[in-house]
């Protein structure tokens, strides 16, 4: 027979540990895409139509995969849809079969980490999304491998340290955003008045 001697303090601790309030600690839940039916249709199929972000096939919301073939007869893109909205991982390839980009969607919204590469295989961008908005670091590179920009986002808005570079590696912009205001070097050309002395 089981005893009913479960310490109240341990019960209370476990209740707090596993409560919904843990969401406020900044931990981001990983979203899992829903199952997309394994039906594949060419993107050029005339039965497709799109209204804003919703894809229709013969007038009905489309569920399945859309693909495209390049001039080398290799796959150039594969996108999953569920009830007309993008779902799961979308991938695009260069004609040389190298991956061009990989993006992730949940019910039509951007989620998780999105990555892109230059045709030479070097990274082009890394973005992070939560609920279809930028969240965390945003990094982009020139095709030569040098950094182009490194921004930070919170709830879809620039926040904190933001930097941009020229393709030779020299700094173009270096500023901080505090309470929505920019402070520092913005990297914009200043207009000058020829008559100003």
The H-or-E segment that residue 15 falls in is: helix 8-17
* pLDDT under 70: residue ranges of the chain: 1-29, 187-197
Q: Report yes or no on 70 lying in a domain.
A: no
Q: Report yes or no on 164 lying in a domain.
A: yes
Question: Which residues share a beta bridge with 112?
Answer: 129
Q: What is the dihedral of CA 82, 85, 89, 92, to 10 degrees?
A: 120
Q: Are 176 and 184 in contact (CB under 8 A)?
A: yes
Domain count, the chain: 1
Q: Which pLDDT does position 90 carry in this prediction?
A: 96
Measured between its terminal Cα atoms, the distance across the chain in Å is: 95
Q: Report yes or no on 167 lying in a domain.
A: yes
Q: What is the pTM of this model?
A: 0.76
Q: Report yes or no on 98 lying in a domain.
A: no
β-strand pairing of 40-42 with 64-69: parallel
Q: Report yes or no on 149 lying in a domain.
A: yes
Q: pLDDT tens for residues 98-134? A: 999 999 999 999 999 999 999 999 999 999 999 999 9
Residue 6: exposure state from Cβ atoms within 10 A (0-12, 13-18, ≥19)? exposed
Q: Which pLDDT does position 189 carry in this prediction?
A: 54
Q: Report yes or no on 93 lying in a domain.
A: no
Domain extent at residue 156 = 111-179
Q: Report yes or no on 148 lying in a domain.
A: yes
Q: Report yes or no on 150 lying in a domain.
A: yes
Q: Which pLDDT does position 184 carry in this prediction?
A: 87
């Amino acid at each position: 027979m089981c005893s009913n001697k479960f310490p109240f303090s341990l019960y209370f601790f476990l209740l707090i540990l596993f409560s919904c309030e843990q969401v406020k600690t900044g931990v981001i839940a990983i979203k899992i895409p829903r199952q997309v039916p394994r039906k594949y249709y060419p993107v050029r199929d005339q039965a497709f139509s799109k209204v804003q972000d919703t894809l229709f096939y013969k007038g009905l919301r489309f569920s399945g995969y859309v693909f495209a073939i390049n001039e080398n007869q290799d796959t150039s893109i594969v996108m999953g849809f569920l009830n007309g909205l993008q779902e799961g991982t979308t991938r695009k390839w260069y004609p040389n079969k190298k991956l061009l980009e990989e993006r992730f969607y949940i019910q039509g919204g951007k989620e998780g980490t999105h990555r892109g590469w230059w045709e030479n295989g070097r990274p082009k961008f890394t973005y992070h999304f939560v609920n279809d908005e930028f969240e965390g670091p945003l990094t982009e590179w020139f095709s030569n491998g040098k950094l182009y920009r490194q921004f930070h986002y919170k709830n879809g808005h620039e926040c904190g340290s933001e930097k941009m570079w020229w393709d030779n590696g020299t700094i173009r912009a270096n500023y901080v955003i505090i309470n929505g205001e920019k402070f520092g070097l913005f990297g914009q050309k200043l207009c000058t008045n020829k008559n100003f002395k």
